[in-house]
Structure 1
Amino acid sequence: MLRKLAAILLSVVAILAAGWLALRRPDIPYDTLETAYSLPTSNFQTIDGVKIHFTDAGPRDAPVIVLLHGFAASVHTWSQWQSRLDDTYRVIAIDLPGHGLSRVPDDEPVSRDYYVRTVGAIADQLQLDSFALAGSSMGGGIAWKYAAENPTRLDALVLVDAAGWPMSSEDRETSPLVFKLIRIPFVRTLMKDLDLSSLIEDGLSDSFTDQTFVTPEMVDRYSSLSRAPGHRGALLELSAQGPDSPASVRDRLAGIDLPTLILWGEDDKLIPVSHARQFDEAIAKSVLIVYEGTGHLPQEERAKESASDVIAFLDQHVSALSPPFIEEDADEVDSAANGATPQTATGGGARPR
């Protein structure tokens, strides 16, 4: 009987091992990925020892907006915004280390705090005296943390379905399968070298209300970029990091005294729209826009509308701060810098779109 049981167990282990070996995928060299996924506006610079990929478009003397993508994403998520903003703004989208075409640091693990420091280092390298900062999902969490720590360097803040508030147990139950799996340490270890295409596709499907956005090309891009050397390990390191406490988040947000635009998809399955209202309540000079019939990525799913809302916001709060406008009307500049409308200055509440 014991022999039979041992034989069965060995057979199960052999089957699982064979399945794991069949799903293993090697890293894809950076040269190959750069050939496939670099963009016409791509730039590479080594910053604090890490080669960083970013796109840089628009007039060099225009007001600047810096864009931060979400977990496992890349600068490609901002393509629609960039093409609409770069006539009048300098638009810089960054691949955070361990994402897109950016490398992974050798001497420290990636973390949210590391990303906040990275944003500052990139801004220093590009000699950005002041700029607007926008972030989607995880990038939104990095953006508001940077704003809380560097209040005098930013002109404005844009949060798109931003991370930061701890998820309730109910929210966790409804999150995509890939996020449930990577919360389990043992599973994270197994996933490090595997082909995650099917899980990536499930996660992307949960990110969009309109499933026509989830194309084979999008799935292949996410999957391929995750196989850059060191990226899978970096993503799993990030997923293992716990949230900040609600009190800590609330205290840090309360210290943000910047014009802040909060954009959210009403049907977001990854970060519920209730978090948008929490951000709106916590940040004094905020305005919230909720897009009906939209998921986690309104910058892609509602590109035209969300870009128009951002342009209107930047025109009000950032254009007047740029050098070409400063000498025209000092009183007007002061008014714009301090929040031009009662709605923005008081956190005007949600406007459905």
Structure 2
Amino acid sequence: MSPAIPADYEPLRPVEQLDVRSADGIRLHVEVHGQPGAPTVVLAHGWTCSTRFWAPVIRRLVDRYRVVAYDQRGHGRSEIPPSAVRYSTRALAEDLSAVLTRTVPAGERALLAGHSMGGMTIMAAGGRPEVAERTAAAVLVSTGPSDLIAELRVLPGVVRSPGLRRFLHRQVLRSRLPLGPVGPASRSVLKYATMGAGSPDGPVEAAARIVHSCPTGVRAAWAGVLGELDVRPGLARLTAPTAVVVGTDDRLTPPVHAHRMVAALADPQGLLLLPGVGHMAPMERPAEVAAEIHRMAAAHLRAAEPAAAGAVAAEPAAAEPAAAGGAVPTVSVPTVPRPTPPAATERSVSA
């Protein structure tokens, strides 16, 4: 029997659904959640995922924000590109631009949060005037700007040759083998590669169902793009205040990327390290990721008042119920504006 998916991980019913056309005509599925007229948070998911990936984070934001989430091209309910040339970092940037233009009114700005390929999307769009004018701040989660294959930590340490490791990693990521149904073996593989060892069965099952639903061709096409990705020029042109989040056990985009991004950002707003967390930080630790989004929104968006009981607290994030194996660590996250420090601060939750 498959593990039960926690209620927090079930997708919410959006208050609005939109079809947005990108610059090349590809149709993008967009969902709007939360409070009309509230400050806007835009969420971009990663490779092989969909808007469902953000469900536990959206639940923690909807009482205070208008939350926009969209399916990257080829994923979820967005259109699958008809040819390989439609998969590129430029396409990612143009898709984000189209979504922002449609969902963020002229003269207003949003907080952008991107996980994995979603973070790369935000970096790829760095320097685009139409994106910059609608961006108040950004949060980059479990992502990297370049050298993704070289820094992967998926293969065991017994494979020591750097050249062989890069070759094998590339072959695994570009595989066109179907993932098949979710089962014990596939859950174990996904957990090892993308989540921390202490992740409970429910979130692992939720993540596996999302990843397995990505079409094989789409998965392989984007893997090819990610294998050659270099969005460092866009990162250097990303002028909005930006925070970075990474799990210490992230095998796909390990912390070395986070440190490089913080060093390259024009206005770094801190690095949040999540001990024991893998690549799927928004699913593994949704409370901490939502709290970091809220911290940045509170500092850089117009004031947002809770619309109902149960809104995200303006005080430090409270502990979630204990997961199997022990209590969930928490982090105290300040939410009041503060002067930008001379250098980015690094914070870590207690283990």
* TM-score over 0.5 for the pair: yes
Return the offset for 1:55. Answer: 2.3
**For this pair of structures, how many residues does the alignment match?**
288
Partners of 1:180 and 1:215 lie apart in 2 by 28
Q: Distance in 2 between matches of 1:137 and 1:190?
A: 21
The aligned residue for residue 192 of structure 2 is: 205
**How many angstroms apart in 2 are the aligned matches of 1:175 and 1:53?**
35
AA aligned to 2:61 is: L
Gaps of 5+ in 2: 1-9, 160-165, 306-335
1:134-160 per-position Cα deviation (integer Å, ceiling 9, x unaligned): 100111111122233232321101100
Q: Name the CA shift for 1:195/1:243 in 2 (closer, same or farther; >3 Å).
A: same
Q: Which residue of 2 aligns with 1:21?
A: none
**Aligned-residue RMSD, C-alpha:** 3.1
**In the TM superposition, what is the alpha-carbon distance from 1:167 to its structure 2 partner?**
3.4
Distance 1:182 1:74, change over 3 A: farther
Q: Would you say the 8 A contact 1:283–1:347 is kept in 2?
A: no
- Aligned pair partner of 1:136 in 115, 118, 121: 115
**What does residue 317 of structure 2 align with?**
none
Distance in 2 of aligned mates of 1:341 and 1:38: 34
Equivalent residue, structure 2, for 1:277: 259
* Local SS of the residue matching 2:35: coil
Which SS does the other structure have where 2:30 is aligned?
A: strand
**2-side partners of 1:153 and 1:112: how far apart?**
20
**Which ranges of structure 1 fall in alignment gaps of 5 or more residues?**
1-36, 323-338
Whether 1:164 and 2:171 are equivalent positions in the alignment is no
Deviates more, 1:295-304 or 1:208-217: 208-217
Structure number with bigger Rg: 1
Q: State the partner residue of 1:12.
A: none
Match of 2:276 in 1: 293
> Which of 154, 158, 166 is the equivalent residue of 1:174?
154
Matched, 1:151 2:148: no
Deviations 1:264-291 (A, max 9, x none): 1111111111111111111132111111
For residue 117 of structure 1, the aligned residue among 50, 69, 94 is 94
Percent identity over the alignment is 25
Higher helix share: 1
Q: Which AA in structure 2 matches 1:222?
A: V
CA contact (8 A) 2:145 2:261 kept: no
Q: How does 1:63-74 map to 2 (within 5 A)?
A: 63-74=39-50
Given the superposition, is the C-alpha separation of residues 64 and 173 from structure 1 closer, same or farther in structure 2, using an over 3 Å criterion?
Answer: closer
CA–CA distance in structure 2, aligned partners of residues 168 and 123 of structure 1: 30
> Residue 176 of structure 2 contacts residue 220 of structure 2 at CA under 8 Å; is this kept in 1?
no
- CA displacement 1:72-131 (0-9 Å, x = unmatched): 011122112111111121111111111112121336522221011011112222353321
Where relative contact order (Cα < 8 A, 6+ residues apart) is larger, the structure is 2
Is 1:40 equivalent to 2:29 in the alignment? no
Contact 1:262 1:289 in 2 (8 A): yes
2:19 aligns to what SS in structure 1?
A: strand
1:238: which partner in 2?
222
Task: State TM-score, norm by structure 2.
Answer: 0.72
Higher alpha-carbon deviation: 117-126 or 133-142: 117-126
Q: Which amino acid aligns with 1:233?
A: G
State whether residues 187 and 205 of structure 2, in contact with CA within 8 Å, keep that contact through their aligned partners in structure 1.
no
Classify 1:218/1:145 alpha carbon distance in 2 versus 1 (closer, same or farther; 3 Å).
Answer: closer
Number of the residue aligned with 2:288: 305
Does structure 2 retain, via aligned residues, the 8 Å contact 1:172–1:180?
A: no
Partner residue in 2 for 1:32: none
Name the CA distance, whole Å, in 2 between partners of 1:51 and 1:117.
Answer: 12
Corresponding position of 2:344: 348
Report SS of the residue matched to 1:148: coil
**CA displacement at 1:44 relative to structure 2:** 4.0
**CA distance in 1: counterparts of 2:138 and 2:251, whole angstroms:** 23
Report the alpha carbon displacement of residue 61 of structure 1 after superposing the two structures with TM.
0.9
Question: Structure 1's 39 and 180: CA in aligned 2 closer, same or farther, altered over 3 A?
Answer: farther
**2:64–2:304: 8 Å Cα contact kept in structure 1?**
no
Give, in whole Å, the separation in 1 of the partners of 2:304 and 2:11: 32
TM-score normalized with structure 1 length: 0.71
SS in 1 for 2:283: helix
| Alpha-carbon distance in 1 for matches of 2:169, 2:248 | 25
Q: Which residue of 2 aligns with 1:101?
A: 77
